[in-house]
Copies of this chain bind each other. A is one copy, B any other.
């Protein structure tokens, strides 16, 4: 019997009515002949309430205790969902991450999954039960409760789908799927029928909030077909899958923006092997996540370097940079706030030319000044001023026909 994994987020489970709606989506799949394993997040606002309770007692609570506290949010949802299914006449059983042996490392608040006991879940499924698993959480080898960090419930769902060799992993959202761009910014954005793992990973890394990079990466690694669909309707949604040949015909699949970035520049770094590595090691020690490193040699003795950091890391990055300057790792530091990134993503870039040219042309025509440019194999990102970013996105979307479904685009021919 084929297995389907379904994941419901917290905003889809915030009250009894929504829990019953989720239960109906589960029953539909049961009745279509699948075994169903469900992953659920904490109910909307539960986590905020618990965070407030914790901060009231301790402004900097121990991470182990935070995970112990917050994991109750999902535990409540899964038992309530099981009760709702029972009331509708279906056998369901709920489990915490610990109960299904979702084994992780011991990094509280950001743990990595090591293994999951799929046989345990299979036995329950084979008893005819709907299995409901608390997302976002696991347990380390000593029995401590851990949480998987951002996007955690998606990660739980995709990992379970991989372990159970599920036919599909359905991620229910409050949107119809993945769009070519954020419809809140570019209102003519088109819905994508499918997108490759690599594109989705790149999109997530530069601002798309639909799915977290980590869960997509696990999906790619274990070949899990992920479907993002709307909880409120029956639309088929967007499938995230392996690249198929026709995807290459499409130059750009989507565009994103990422606001609230800052650019940190360090000028006059001694051109000695290992200096850059030491700088990045220090930033990593301070847990600063850096993006888009640009290094240029300005003389045989000196080099300049700049990198982007997200809002929450700006202060940490500045502090590390100042310390490095004091230790003569560089001559001067430059910080530029209010930077944003506009990016285009597409596996078609690998085999087609002219993407950068068309992007820069569109930005120039829209009078958007480009601060710096970085690229990956399937992405081009331009740093622009925060005040220009929405205009920049629209210009780029129109340049690549992102207001039309993939099949109707004329990107290459243009």
Contact = CB atoms under 8 A, between A and B. Distances in A.
A146 to B, nearest CB: 13
B72 A76 contact: yes
B53 A82 contact: no
B79 A69 contact: yes
**Copies per complex of this chain:** 2
A78 B56 CA distance: 15
B79 A68 contact: yes
Nearest to A81: B57
A58 interface: yes
A189 interface: no
A109 interface: no
Which size bracket describes the interface of A in this complex?
A: 35 or more
A303 interface: no
B76 A50 contact: yes
A80 interface: yes
A192 interface: no
A273 B107 CA distance: 66
Contact of A86 (B16, B65, B71, B72): B65
A94 interface: yes
Interface string A58-84: 110110111011011001101110111
A69 B62 contact: no
A380 interface: no
Interface in A133-147: 143-145
Contacts of A82: 62, 65, 68
A308 interface: no
A98 interface: yes
Contact of A83 (B54, B71, B86): B54
A54 B64 CA distance: 28
A79 B65 contact: yes
A349 interface: no
Contacts of A93: 64-65
Given A57-B87, A98-B98, 5 more contacts: A65-B80, A66-B79, A69-B79, A96-B145, A99-B144
B83 A57 contact: yes
Contact of A57 (B65, B80, B99): B80
Q: Is the interface of A mostly helix, strand, loop or mixed?
A: helix
Interface in A22-77: 50, 53-54, 56-59, 61-62, 64-66, 68-69, 71-72, 75-76
A54 B87 CA distance: 11
A150 interface: no
20 contacts: A50-B76, A53-B76, A53-B80, A54-B80, A54-B83, A57-B83, A58-B86, A58-B87, A64-B93, A65-B82, A65-B83, A65-B93, A68-B78, A68-B82, A68-B94, A68-B96, A72-B75, A96-B145, A98-B143, A99-B143
Contacts of A71: 75
A50 to B, nearest CB: 7
A20 interface: yes
A19 interface: yes
The winner among A54, A72, A79, A82 for most chain B CB atoms within 10 A is: A79
A301 B268 CA distance: 111
A409 B54 CA distance: 50
Contacts of A96: 68, 145
Please list the 5 inter-chain residue pairs (A to B) with the smallest Cβ-Cβ separation, ordered nearest first: A72-B72, A69-B79, A58-B87, A68-B79, A58-B83
A104 to B, nearest CB: 15
Contacts of A94: 65, 68
